[in-house]
A = this chain, B = another copy of it.
Amino acid sequence: MRKQVLTILIACASVAAMAQTSQPAVIEDFKPSTFNQPQQEYPMVNSQGYARFKIVAPAADSVRVSLGLGGKGGTKLQKTEDGSWMATTDGPMDEGFHYYNVRIDGGKFNDPGTLNFYGSTRWESGIEIPAHDRDFYALKNVPHGHVHQVLFPSPSTSTSRRAFVYTPPGYEKSKDKYPVLYLQHGWGEDETAWSNQGHANLIMDNLIAEGKIKPFIIVMTYGMTNDVKPGGIRNFKIEPFQTVLIDELIPYVDDNFRTVKNKDGRAMAGLSMGGFETKTITLNKPDVFSYYGLLSGGTYAPADISDKSKVKMIFLSCGSKERPDGVRKAAEELKAAGFNAVSYVSEGTAHEFQTWRRSLYQMAPLLFK
């Protein structure tokens, strides 16, 4: 299991963030990234996916952003006449969301132009390269669900722990009971990732408005219960998080929300390390969840699952720049063994959030059928 996590992380690190190596001429139609802070012009992105950065630090000797150059060392900014530092990436970037940071005279900081997103066990800068399919997670004039911040009691960790709970539009007025997807972030991220970077709430709002899914609840909590030290994943043990999830969070959610309180009403899915957690916990606790999703987070083999009748659906996905053949092959083997398994490959994306936004969009209609 530990070896699998390491493999995922290494695959992640080696995937280049750049889309192409032979570069077209840069079109000068740059606009502020949609994740900029209010009134901030930079960073900007153009219609080809180039990013342009501007950092004000008049007396600095060296300014560099961690994006660009195939992920190797990032982009060096050049000093301009007004004392700011500027550069454009050396090629178009993959569609969707990218984390980055800014090196100023050897220190690691964030770009004051952007919002921050928790990744790599720190709040990082983020930039959005507009995707051709961005409509499915756009903020539209449709009914919106709520994202509740809840603080649930956790005797096993002697704390009140935080989770975010998406309830679909109409939940407050309805008397229905809703099924629940427990949805995990990746290594170095936290329970804010699926809403902030992933737009999970907007993906759901739009799917519901279009009548493509029956409404369900999503619960997102912190999965690195016992291990937040950078590089410490070698020692990751599932038990502390499994206890929080199974013995503390699920009972809290079932007690405080109108849920379907049985395994047919529960799914678990996760991205990257959250996929590893999903695989481990669904196999350890076969009577808790019926729907399993691994998003860039490994695969199940038929032999992993002792009682086929307990699994209603298995969803496996990744980006086309990861290992799409592995995901496709695993789904085929599961299907051949009689499982309801589905694979999805996000075209042109790597181990990043655009892969996982699309994966959630593809997976949601398959849940709770």
Contacts and interface: CB of A to CB of B under 8 A. Distances in A.
A37 B139 contact: no
Nearest to A149: B147
B39 A228 contact: yes
Given A122-B37, A122-B112, A107 B148 contact: no
Contact of A105 (B57, B116, B150, B160): B57
Contacts of A323: none
Contacts of A149: 146-149, 195, 201
A38 interface: yes
Contacts of A62: 59
A173 interface: yes
B112 A108 contact: yes
A147 B144 contact: no
Interface in A64-119: 83, 102, 104-110, 112, 115-116
B151 A257 contact: no
A112 B110 contact: yes
A23 interface: no
Given A106-B60, A112-B110, A146 B139 contact: no
A304 interface: no
A361 interface: no
Given A110-B112, A147-B149, A104 B38 contact: no
A89 B224 CA distance: 35
A109 B106 contact: no
Contacts of A172: 256-257
A58 B151 contact: no
A302 interface: no
Contact of A150 (B37, B104, B144): B144
Contacts of A228: 38-39
A172 to B, nearest CB: 5
B39 A121 contact: yes
Given A104-B57, A107-B57, A229-B39, A151 B139 contact: yes
A104 B149 CA distance: 35
B141 A60 contact: no
Nearest to A232: B39
Interface in A219-263: 228-230, 256-257
A210 interface: no
A324 to B, nearest CB: 33
A116 B107 contact: no
Contact of A173 (B56, B115, B256): B256
Nearest to A160: B139
Contacts of A56: 106-108
A153 B140 CA distance: 10
A106 B60 CA distance: 8
A58 B105 CA distance: 6
10 contacts: A37-B122, A57-B104, A58-B106, A60-B104, A60-B105, A108-B112, A115-B123, A139-B159, A146-B148, A146-B165
Interface of A: 37-39, 55-62, 83, 102, 104-110, 112, 115-116, 121-123, 139-141, 144, 146-153, 159-160, 165, 172-173, 195, 201, 228-230, 256-257
| Leading 6 A-B pairs by shortest Cβ distance | A57-B107, A59-B105, A144-B151, A58-B106, A60-B105, A146-B148
